[in-house]
Structure 1
């Protein structure tokens, strides 16, 4: 009779989950690495966490600035996932020192405390950061299930910050398991950020992947396709969810290669506040290339590969820190490959994978944290957008200031002050018109919503999506637990059964040519039409800006 160890080896070779002899915690063999889960919660709503699993070779040394390579190095030591997680190198914009205190004052009605300045370096930061976390309901391993839906979280952070560890999915996972439901397998991913994820490219830099961070996301999603069955998930039932940069990342995945590369590796998408700086083309990134070489003191990107991590991170921080108001310098850019054209143009031309079901939402007050309160006249208004859109000719900026958002505070426009004018223009240019373009791309067949729960600022809805009993959000405003649990039910139903009969996600209306959206408020939810983003101003951002 074969030995127990021999049987375990055979089962592992088939890629199945096994319980190590004499242990109650499951072990998953990924061939290149082996991982033991850690238990969280009770048998009804609990899950096993498999943390810090590599999906790519470390993007260091010669692999810097390149398309990621799938993990091939083998390490057979069982990893229990309890080590300090690694996050990708972070960078913040200096204008946060103005915008965050302003936003706090607007939300609370009181003068903000002194801005603490940039946070100290996070010791978790490491170039070797391409890892995923997987959370599987306990019943998966206790009943050997292999067919649960999968929910993949793509974090935001302006493509310069954030990580898979910035949210706690326990509350969302528990919601998916309520009332006897089977739930879903949750996945969180890291992807390269800032200089490391979106390196600038010169004419001779044929091997620089200037959208490396998006390639990281795609490789992580392909890792899910290849491996999620080992954690009880079904690769044909993957939903991706992301907010801000995470939301626009999903839109960019949907438009990637204009469909030439085949179908995206997911079935459904929940796109929250798809924030994307407009008009980031080769011209813009050519200037960033020159800025980086001068800052780093090198003559080429190939030479930069030999710099120390500290030298590169210092350049990353310096360039992000000095960004014009409203953006982080680094980020997705039209490269002719992964991003063949500007996001909104690709969406408007319907160059997307239309086999995907899409739910799109945004918040009622998207622009507050991107607003420069010093903008108090037309000259400053134009200067703000010239800084945000350096490749756009002055004539277009003038059209923006005189025709699209005229300096008219009589009540004829949706604003009556300079600050409100700027906020509307920022919200529409960075988020709302991207959401509207996504609805257009899917022939108005998307489901759509607007998060209007006070204060409804950018990213406020993330605290509700990942609610786990916290009394307040990051701005110190109370979280309505009933609304949060309701949202979690919608999203978990969408991830598990889509908008099939009986799914609570059907509360989100089909967009249709009437531009219907669900307005989520403190006092209830109503379907409104037309969507505030369905307007001539967004037509300018989608069509007129690039004409």
Structure 2
């Protein structure tokens, strides 16, 4: 039966009952839990939100570090979703203290204010965090609207932080109800991150799910398949969308089990800036295992299961905080099963679910926030990549520094300074070449776009995807509302009708053997070919690095 079949059976068995006779607000009965919606917005563009729906048993105690189990504990108390949401334990890399001020200064021309110290711990953090939110157009419950398309958001955050509550989908949902559109059902999910989502394991730790966070995502998607009809959605019309770690999560779902376990539980995917640390193999995670045992003061992961949450969260923060520049230590790693090989290599081998339609995008300046401004010579350049790629032999690092990105600032290369050189190498290593590999995996049948609206940093496009009239982004840079709404319309049309006739998503070109890509700029959109990522340097990241 396999993982998907097993979980589908478990989840379907729990999704037996339908809409309860309600008062003024709709109530949805999931058998194991009962949820009352809250209204958001007006009659035309408003929706009902059902918050904090459990899709798994709490991953605590004996279930810590293990594959998630579908929700079976029954609680018949009606939950109105107004309680403080729970988010999974969070962690940050210490190098952000260098890269973020540098990025702000580069973009704004002004130095940011000095740091005031680390922020206090977010009180929403809890190991019991496997919850999702469902948001349905009001017509679902007020006019018995059914069989709507479904859009599932998988958050980013470097696999160390982030939650379903990190974005507000109100503007995106409203876009789906304009111009006579019927709308869609939106789902935002949590999944375990950091140590709790990607725990290391030793030779004897057969029951440790080292890619638990990816299993969480899959279980949430299977929950959607089993239950979304109760909220007016159609399980056969699911589109997943994610940015950064969320995007590479989608790619990981597409390559999971190398296709042995059947098709993925979604029809379409929007992959925005698929960021993932290259070459995180068993060798690298064996080092993390040793590091974790020493920091936690235990001799095995089984012993770690009984440690207090506060102890483990302290280790989570310490290890992420000490990460080498450009990554967070924790994250997907080759387990030979769910994550069978390096993601980019699985893509290069075309071991993907080919039944999914895919849009792939990236931004024009993916790497500024991952760039170490202290790198000012070739020795430091190589040291950066030795930290990012600890399992790669020195000969490959030397090839990277002498052949792929030579120290040539004459104008013959696409860079003229050390910082530009590092930025290009990091952008291609972490994001661009993953996007290129995804296009190749689908034999050039994807649709592709490059987000070049200034400053076009990594994650800048998220503010456009979820635009709701905000005048500026987190940097204080104005958001062009017309461009944001246009992008929203493409993604909404794609979720609702794919690339059928009349869908505005068709402006995003099919990649084809000409490597076509839509370039989205402040002044208009143009189809460029070839894709800037379709270059010999990306061939090194896709093929040569692991040869």
* TM-score bracket for the superposition, by shorter chain length: over 0.9
* Structure 1 residues 62-141: aligned runs within 5 Å: 62-141=62-141
Correspondence for 2:538 = 538
Q: CA deviation at 1:14?
A: 5.2
Structure 1 13/483 Cα, relative in aligned 2: closer, same or farther at 3 Å?
closer
Q: How big is each residue's C-alpha offset from its partner over 1:176-216, in whole Å with a ceiling of 9 and x where there is no partner?
A: 00012101000000000000000001001000000000000
Correspondence for 1:190 = 190
Partners of 1:325 and 1:388 within 8 A in 2 = yes
Moved over 4 A (4+): none
User: 2 CA distance for matches of 1:465 and 1:474?
Assistant: 14
Partners of 1:19 and 1:25 within 8 A in 2 = no
The gaps in structure 2 that reach 5 residues or longer are 1-13
* Structure 1 residues 279-428: aligned runs within 5 Å: 279-428=279-428
TM-score by length of 2: 0.97
Partners of 2:357 and 2:446 within 8 A in 1 = yes
Correspondence for 1:442 = 442
Correspondence for 1:460 = 460
Correspondence for 2:200 = 200
User: 2 CA distance for matches of 1:183 and 1:13?
Assistant: 24
TM-score by length of 1: 0.97
User: 2 CA distance for matches of 1:28 and 1:482?
Assistant: 37
Partners of 1:17 and 1:141 within 8 A in 2 = no
User: 2 CA distance for matches of 1:116 and 1:529?
Assistant: 46
Correspondence for 2:238 = 238
Q: CA deviation at 1:474?
A: 1.2
Specify the SS of the correspondent of 2:179.
helix
Correspondence for 2:20 = 18
Q: CA deviation at 1:13?
A: 8.8
User: 1 CA distance for matches of 2:15 and 2:312?
Assistant: 41
Specify the SS of the correspondent of 1:52.
strand
The gaps in structure 1 that reach 5 residues or longer are 1-11
Partners of 1:132 and 1:189 within 8 A in 2 = yes
Measured on the aligned residues, the alpha-carbon RMSD in Å equals 0.9
Q: How big is each residue's C-alpha offset from its partner over 1:258-277, in whole Å with a ceiling of 9 and x where there is no partner?
A: 00110000000000000010
Q: How big is each residue's C-alpha offset from its partner over 1:470-506, in whole Å with a ceiling of 9 and x where there is no partner?
A: 1111111111111111111000000000010000000
Q: CA deviation at 1:110?
A: 1.3
Specify the SS of the correspondent of 1:199.
coil
Correspondence for 1:451 = 451
User: 1 CA distance for matches of 2:342 and 2:541?
Assistant: 11
User: 1 CA distance for matches of 2:20 and 2:43?
Assistant: 18
Correspondence for 1:6 = none
Q: How big is each residue's C-alpha offset from its partner over 1:151-182, in whole Å with a ceiling of 9 and x where there is no partner?
A: 00000000000000010000000000001210
Correspondence for 1:144 = 144
Correspondence for 1:220 = 220
User: 2 CA distance for matches of 1:399 and 1:299?
Assistant: 39
Specify the SS of the correspondent of 1:235.
strand
Q: CA deviation at 1:469?
A: 1.0
User: 1 CA distance for matches of 2:538 and 2:17?
Assistant: 49
User: 2 CA distance for matches of 1:113 and 1:376?
Assistant: 25
Partners of 1:101 and 1:115 within 8 A in 2 = no
Specify the SS of the correspondent of 1:435.
helix
Partners of 2:16 and 2:31 within 8 A in 1 = no
Question: How many residues align structurally?
Answer: 534
Structure 1 117/386 Cα, relative in aligned 2: closer, same or farther at 3 Å?
farther
Q: How big is each residue's C-alpha offset from its partner over 1:74-125, in whole Å with a ceiling of 9 and x where there is no partner?
A: 0000000000000000000000000000000011011221134432100000
Specify the SS of the correspondent of 1:151.
strand
Structure 1 49/99 Cα, relative in aligned 2: closer, same or farther at 3 Å?
same
Q: CA deviation at 1:313?
A: 0.0
Stretch of structure 1 that moved more, 108-117 or 443-452 = 108-117
Q: How big is each residue's C-alpha offset from its partner over 1:275-296, in whole Å with a ceiling of 9 and x where there is no partner?
A: 0100000000000000000001
Structure 1 483/470 Cα, relative in aligned 2: closer, same or farther at 3 Å?
same
* Structure 1 residues 459-538: aligned runs within 5 Å: 459-538=459-538
User: 2 CA distance for matches of 1:51 and 1:84?
Assistant: 10
Specify the SS of the correspondent of 1:433.
helix
